Chain A
Amino acid sequence: MAERRIRIMVAKPGLDGHDRGARILARAFRDAGYEVIYTGCHQTPEQIAAAAVQEDVDLVGLSCLSGAHGYLFPRVVELLKEKGAEDITVIGGGIIPDQDFQKLYDAGIKAIFTPGATLDSILDWIKNNLKPRE
């Protein structure tokens, strides 16, 4: 049986339209051999969680530059848990002040990447930390 390819969803929660980083990452993941789904902008946490479950992804990468990450990121984790999909890894990025990191980690966000993070550093993190779902 062919090995199942890892599936990654790049998602833009909230109303923010700054999607340069999200689109660059989607390409980088695709070039690295992952299956990639990009939600496009303006998704509610509910839409993201539902799509992640439906698409059976292993990882959700959230991107937010509007400052609303404090509400949006934990909400996605919470909704995945409600759907019994807490084994989907959730990471985040964007304009996230240092002082908010701990709160997001506590809420279940596994890694946070902010401006200046290289594509390689993000790909390395995934290679070393992502466990494909059963």
Chain B
Amino acid sequence: MGSYFSDDTVNKSQELTKKWEDEVAHSVVQSPDQKSRWSTVSDLEIKRLYTPEDIKDTDFARDIGAPGEFPYLRGNQPTGYRGRYWTFRMFSGMGSAADTNARWHMLLREGQTGLSTAFDFPTLMGYDTDSPNARGECGRCGVAIDTLDDFLTLVDKIPLDKVTTSMTINPPASVLWAMYCAAADKKGVPLSKIGGTIQNDMLKEFIAQKTFMCPPEPSVRIISDTVEFGTKYVPKWNTISISGYHIREAGSTAVQELAFTLRDGIEYVEDAIRRKGMDVDSFAPRLSFFFNSHIDFFEEICKMRAARRIWAHVMKERFHAKNPRSWWLRFHTQTAGCSLTAQQPYNNVVRTAIEALAGVLGGTQSLHTNSLDEVLALPSEHSVQIALRTQQIIAEETGVANTIDPLAGSYFIESLTNKMEEEAWQYITKIDEMGGMIAAIDKGFPQLEIADAAYRFQQQIDHNEKIMVGVNKYVTSEEQPIPTLQIDEKVEQEQLKRLADVKRRRDSRAVSADLKDLKNACITGKNVMPYCIKAVKDMATLQEICDVYREAFGEYRDPGLF
């Protein structure tokens, strides 16, 4: 086999390392290490030195290879970022649809290359603004969308055949996507021309993000409907963005993020094949992923490289996919919100730059850089501009896009990539043995693994074993508050007025008939998408459609595990 180094090199390395260890044993008596144990931010132990010995079992052709070739460790594209940079896709949404549309146009003017929406909590949970559950929440964490009317305002003067849009939406993903399709139709853009992503990843909601509506099983069923519909009619759309981002934000380690995300992906592929009888190669190329880029630079780069290699093996060997595009793991990255600090917020610009750089060196295809004030509020226009400029500086000034996967071959990088891959496989196998991800969620397995990791990290911070600058070291007593974006209470009142107005204007008999048809589709196992599109065109509200799901499939309640 083509091992990475010759036996001779490994032997010499062993000899030299032995000598070095002896010397170190003497010198550390004089000046001991600052810590007894060195580990990544996720507590993966790190050695003092990495040598050829650490990757002696790595086979260059089999495990590393060339970019654009299986197992895609070095990237899906043979030319890396030379052909084009990653998509600069800033996540944004606040207040009303008109407010968010204005922010989108501002970002496009400033050089953003893809759109990405944040919805407010009522929208995310399938409630209208006039629901008692929605009080106080309208427009606060994202944009409020109740009907197609709002959606048309959101995409006003956005060329849907030219710009791709990512929608961070999960339980009501089918409804928002139906609105997107209906909006395209109204603007005369055929479904075959629109491109974008719906997050539509429900399993990680039960594991981490806690935005759910129906229980796991029917939630996955609705996802398979969207996969099937997209494959047939909306071929340029990414029908799921399988998301580790939230798993990490909930406190997981990098390995847990890697493992649970990919295992969720396996679950979706299995469901689409089993439930819909689809050929894996017909839909797998449109699956996409979403990772967190945290502050531990090398751990993140290795996580992303390992992710590509694991997925390539999963698709080829577990699902027997034949199309190389099915083997690709395509992913978006967001810098870690949970790594930002409310203390000394300008430091967040630096953290975000380093995390973004890790995302780029890990080979991301799309990137959101957090704004310095995101730990305090939705980003102001000024702070979001700095965040976007951070990406542009990395792309255009630093030279890191000049060559592909420049860290490959490093003893440390390859060894850490291998280690993360091994540990992720252990989790994946364990979940397989439990009977799959839904069974594991029912047992509370991923939830409690993450809770353990989050608690351990907090204790490490409290005991100064891990450092957060400005929080437990280099603390300043007097801090100047920074200006933050405020959401006016008027937003809720105006949204309520618009919703009431739509309800008055529409043909309520048509809406009732549409909802009845949708419910029937839910019960009989027909694909829900065409019924959703019909309903939103008749101005059925988001909640009315989601209530049909709740009635047909039941509601999921948080078991409150800790």
B-contacting residues of A (Cβ < 8 Å)?
10, 14-20, 22-24, 26-28, 36, 38-42, 44, 66-68, 70-72, 95, 97-98, 114-116, 118-120
Contact = CB atoms under 8 A, between A and B. Distances in A.
A17 B209 contact: yes
B251 interface: yes
A134 to B, nearest CB: 28
Given A67-B141, A95-B376, A15 B249 contact: no
Main secondary structure of the interface of B (DSSP, over half): loop
21 contacts: A10-B562, A15-B124, A15-B133, A15-B134, A17-B205, A17-B210, A19-B250, A22-B562, A27-B451, A39-B560, A40-B558, A40-B559, A40-B560, A42-B210, A67-B137, A67-B140, A68-B135, A72-B136, A95-B376, A114-B342, A116-B341
Contact of A97 (B127, B377, B560): B377
Given A28-B458, A41-B560, 6 more contacts: A22-B562, A27-B455, A38-B562, A67-B137, A95-B375, A115-B341
Contact of A40 (B209, B455, B461, B557): B557
Given A15-B121, A24-B455, A116 B136 contact: no
A102 B540 CA distance: 41
B454 A120 contact: no
B41 interface: no
A70 B461 CA distance: 29
Contacts of A10: 562
Contacts of A26: 562
Interface residues of B, number: 45
A26 B137 CA distance: 25
Interface string B452-473: 0011001101100000000110
Contact of B137 (A14, A24, A98, A116): A14
A43 to B, nearest CB: 9
Contacts of A118: 461-462, 472
Interface string B114-128: 000000011011010
B484 interface: yes
A97 B133 contact: no
Contact of A67 (B377, B455, B471): B377
B251 A24 contact: yes
B127 A15 contact: yes
Nearest to A17: B210
Interface in B427-465: 451, 454-455, 458-459, 461-462
Given A40-B559, A115-B375, A68 B251 contact: no
Nearest to A68: B136
A93 B517 CA distance: 44
A14 B136 contact: yes
A120 B151 CA distance: 46
B174 interface: no
Interface string B244-267: 000001110000000000000000
A36 B560 CA distance: 12
B338 interface: yes
A115 B342 contact: yes
B141 A66 contact: yes
B400 interface: no
Interface string B202-226: 0001000111000000000000000
Contacts of A36: 562
Contacts of A119: 458-459, 462
A114 B343 CA distance: 10
B283 to A, nearest CB: 28
Contacts of A98: 481
A42 B125 contact: yes
A42 B125 CA distance: 10
Given A26-B562, A71-B135, A16 B121 contact: yes
Residue among B127, B210, B211, B559 with the most chain A CB within 10 A?
A: B210
A70 B484 CA distance: 16
Nearest to B374: A95
Nearest to A98: B481
B470 to A, nearest CB: 8
A44 B134 CA distance: 10
B169 to A, nearest CB: 14
A5 B133 CA distance: 34
Contacts of B338: 20
Contacts of B121: 14-16, 66, 68
B499 interface: no
Interface string B309-322: 00000000000000
Contacts of A44: 132-133
